[in-house]
Structure 1
């Protein structure tokens, strides 16, 4: 059995291709050891880059049991050189950078600073509960799922500041959103061109907005491929022929 992690477009494509090969497949968004009643022959991780650290325990579990763990990683985005881009290594550094930028912009402009969050609802509460939140208006873009919209509302974000839409978005669409909400700071992470990082950055720079960019984790990912085609080639060579 192959265990496929992730609800991305790439995960859906992989699922269709593996099903066409008549391989036994189970798709999961979250993982727990109890969920694996039988030892899988392969685990494919096609989750977003933001999930990399979340599955560290799973990678360790696979290593202990000799189960191949194959990670589909999006190529890094080529980041332009700009004084408006503040690159950070992790979420904690992002919060520190946001605190500094919000404080500076609030002192300069004397009004609430609008942070347009494109990293979804995961870890959003740490922004909402942060000391600098009283000087900021937080706008968040999430997938159009009721539970995510409700989660944002439960944190105190009003519906008018919740954009429930599924990307990927073009530069023009991002530009319209950022301008409509009068954004000052864009919070995003490097999720590759497949995640629209390049279009967010180019739209923000065109509007002269500041960008807090969370760079990729340097965690050891083990077996790594950088395209669905490369992943399927690996499966064909190492799984299909063995069945």
Structure 2
């Protein structure tokens, strides 16, 4: 990947102006893609970084890198060597380790840092949510007689539910897995969101789902299953978000662009 170099500028009075932004976006979310489009439309130098869990990520209007950095030290080195002027963490709300590393590397390297994150979902009238703290608690909550369970979690955590093999699971992945899921009874749907409430309503009915298990990812792209579950009166095991990693956070792309224009140079 070519190294993008940002150079300082001098005003008419000789006072240095803020450097031309060279933005590193930690992505993998719909919001990260939307930010990449906004940065490209503005003509700003930017790179979008994926962790590498999706085999065929969407085409992007900015350069893309795939893979980890090697912890805080590796990310800090990347920021320095590529002369990154701004770091935007637009990772999934459950990517707690990456968010913590991003904040630490930015602070250590003196690089302005901002999180672009989705507001968490909140239960509405008619929802039957049971909150659990993590994947292990969700697995434990499924103890009991066989049911038909939609695991709306992606493929990373599916293996944990082999501890409750009595259920028939519905899985929905962005990519088809190289290895078959370890669950003895399951159906696999390969599809990429955003999804509609009408389509998810049909999906839950078709598979006669009794309960939905999901993370509180927030946003609109994955909310359809919750609307469908509400319509059918189904219970939802809602896995709560990890602790907030800290740092300044916003919820909209235009807020990031405003930060790049003004707030970051004020040390926000």
What range describes the TM-score normalised by the shorter chain of this pair? 0.7 to 0.9
Q: CA deviation at 1:165?
A: 0.9
Which residue pairs with 1:57 in the alignment?
101
Which residue pairs with 1:141 in the alignment?
172
The answer on whether the counterparts of 1:119 and 1:187 sit within 8 Å (CA) in structure 2 is yes
Q: CA deviation at 1:20?
A: 2.8
Which residue pairs with 1:109 in the alignment?
none
> Higher relative contact order at CA 8 Å, sep ≥6: structure 1 or structure 2?
1
Structure 1: where are the runs of 5+ without partners?
A: 107-111
- Relative distance call for 1:151 and 1:97 in structure 2 (3 A) is farther
SS of 2:205's equivalent in the other structure is: helix
Which residue pairs with 1:121 in the alignment?
155
Q: Count matched residues.
A: 223
Question: 1:14-163 counterparts in 2 under 5 A?
Answer: 14-30=35-51, 31-33=68-70, 34=74, 36=78, 37-80=81-124, 84-99=128-143, 103=144, 106=145, 112-128=146-162, 130=163, 132-133=164-165, 135-143=166-174, 145=175, 149-151=176-178, 153-155=180-182, 161-163=187-189
The answer on whether the counterparts of 1:98 and 1:212 sit within 8 Å (CA) in structure 2 is no
The answer on whether the counterparts of 2:23 and 2:46 sit within 8 Å (CA) in structure 1 is yes
| Aligned mate of 2:197, from 171, 175, 187 | 171
Q: CA deviation at 1:91?
A: 2.2
The answer on whether the counterparts of 1:121 and 1:151 sit within 8 Å (CA) in structure 2 is no
Which residue pairs with 1:187 in the alignment?
213
Q: Distance in 1 between matches of 2:184 and 2:113?
A: 38
Say which structure is richer in helix: 1
Q: Distance in 2 between matches of 1:98 and 1:222?
A: 35
Asked which structure has the greater CA Rg, the reply is: 2
Root mean square deviation, CA, Å: 2.6
Q: Distance in 2 between matches of 1:235 and 1:17?
A: 12
Which moved further from structure 2: 12-21 or 221-230? 12-21
Residue deviations 1:120-157 (CA, integer Å, cap 9, x gap): 112221113x2x12x111211111x2xxx124625357
